[in-house]
Amino acid sequence: MSRALRRQPLVQKPPAKTPSFKPSGPRPTKKQTGAAAEAAKQHLSFYDRWVPRPVRDIISELKKVTWPTREETTRLTVAVLAVSITIGLALGGVDIGFNWLVDNTLLR
């Protein structure tokens, strides 16, 4: 080890702080058992009792979606089909052109 490194004082890390995170909001409730659970289940609707939570979340998100009108859907479908057919014809033309080029130059 060189002299310069031996002369330098060691740098010490500051002591670790305790995390300052404090959860906000109410504490989660404990799962009820026995009579309390039965009483809580009785006032739940059929939807809340039998439909799984992920499915309920999906349904609630789909209710927030702004769905297009029938006219918008028809117009956009026609646009997609027109662009697809145009690109298909262009690629088909390029393919036919390259086939002709290969047949008449390389395979003669």
- Whether the predicted pLDDT of 88 surpasses 70: yes
pLDDT in tens, 25-51: 677 666 666 666 666 666 667 777 788
pLDDT of residue 49: 74
> Is the CA virtual torsion 66, 71, 73, 75 positive or negative?
negative
The pTM for the full model equals 0.46
Taking phi over 0 as left and psi of -120 to 50 as alpha, with beta for the rest, 34 belongs to left
Closest CA relative to residue 53, chosen from 65, 44, 64: 44
Stretch 74-92: mean pLDDT, rounded?
98
CA distance 84 to 58: 32
3-state secondary structure of 49: helix
- Whether the predicted pLDDT of 76 surpasses 90: yes
Token pair for 72: 């918008």
pLDDT of residue 8: 64
Residue whose structure tokens are 């305790």: 18
Contact assessment for residue 56 and residue 47, using Cβ atoms and an 8 Å cutoff: yes
